Amino acid sequence: MNTHILSLILSRLFITILTLMIISVIVFVATTLLPGDTATILLGQSATPEAIAGLRKAMHLDEPAFFRFLAWILAFLHGDLGISYANNMPIAQLIGARLLNSLKLAAVTTGFALPISLFLGITTAMFRSSWYDRTVTVFTIGVISIPEFMVATTAVLIFAVYLKWLPALSLTGDVHSLWGLMRAYAMPVITLTCVVSAQMIRMTRAAVIDALDSPYVEMALLKGASRKRLVLSHALPNCLGPIANAVALSLSYLLGGVIIIETIFNYPGIAKLMVDAVTTRDLPLIQSCAMIFCLAYLVLVTIADLIAILSNPRLR
């Protein structure tokens, strides 16, 4: 690995760490500005001012925001997520099972969406302007134009209400067989796959078309190379970076879309836990969930950037 590539990688990692620190400040400030008083919400409207003041002191809410931020971020860096206000138990224990459920949902969705998206994106680029390309393009534009909650609602109406094939809620706790597991995951996976695949198909198609229009591919075409060889041997190796970015950006959308999907289908994931924490104004739990989402997004984008750097033949 040459010095230039190493410096690019180190600078990208530094930018990631700096971005995460800036995000931590934004998350803390945003949660601090939430309306309502945490102590009042936990004790109820009938609580006495003395009880509210005592609870605020016990939770260190009476301290300046700057010192509370320093204490929170230092504890977070040491792996201590704090204690949940509403549940009075370690946040790491609360998040553990929920995070595993969200990762399972993301993994299953990725397993379905990634091969379908790459196949459709590459083949539509190979046969652009054909009826196949136009059909897929119309479908992807239509799905992109519809918000995910509308896609989820439509899926519920079709598969749960009218056809009665699948349950409207994803009750993973009652699963006792493979068929039951498939039924529990079907609705959220179908919805997320539609939302994520549409954007991934469009971006993959654009990256492959841009590579196919380059001079070296035109030279290979003049030498008699087949369409399959043009794509697999000449275009794909040189558009690996843009495709990796397309995949990372599309998969990172799972982090935002999963909040709505888990809420609609009552899926017991970390996003549903975060929504419940906002309702009870559980500030440490909200902050921890938000940081996990931001960290996952930055990891995906950073991996895509590193792949783009390492796959760039000019840098090598």
CATH of the domain at 261: 1.10.3720.10
What's the whole-model pTM score?
0.76
* Cβ 292 vs Cβ 197: under 8 Å: no
Query: What is the per-residue pLDDT for 304?
Result: 79
Q: Which domain holds residue 271?
A: 96-282
Specify if 190 maps to a domain: yes
Specify if 54 maps to a domain: no
What's the number of domains the chain is made of?
A: 1
Specify if 143 maps to a domain: yes
Query: What is the per-residue pLDDT for 290?
Result: 86
**Residue 83 phi, psi dihedral angles, 5° rounding:** -110, 135
Specify if 43 maps to a domain: no
Specify if 259 maps to a domain: yes
Query: What is the per-residue pLDDT for 271?
Result: 81
Query: What is the per-residue pLDDT for 59?
Result: 72
- The owner of tokens 């043009």 is 230
For residue range 108-161, what is the model confidence (pLDDT) as tens digits?
888 888 899 889 988 888 888 889 989 998 988 888 777 777 888 888 888 888
| Nearby residues of 175 by Cβ (< 8 Å), 6 or more positions away | 181, 184
Query: What is the per-residue pLDDT for 191?
Result: 84
Residue 262 CB-density burial (10 A; 0-12 exposed, 13-18 middle, 19+ buried): buried
Closest by CA position to 294, among listed 269, 272, 270: 270
Specify if 253 maps to a domain: yes
Average pLDDT per 10 consecutive residues for the chain, totaling 316 residues: 78 88 88 70 71 75 80 84 81 84 83 89 86 89 80 82 77 63 79 84 86 76 72 74 78 71 80 82 85 86 80 66
Long-range contacts of the stretch 147-153 (C-beta < 8 A, 24+)? 148/191, 148/192, 148/195, 148/257, 148/260, 148/261, 149/260, 149/264, 151/191, 151/194, 151/195, 152/187, 152/188, 152/191, 152/260, 152/261, 152/264, 152/265, 153/264
Specify if 108 maps to a domain: yes
- The owner of tokens 């945003």 is 30
Specify if 10 maps to a domain: no
Tokens of 141: 């534009």
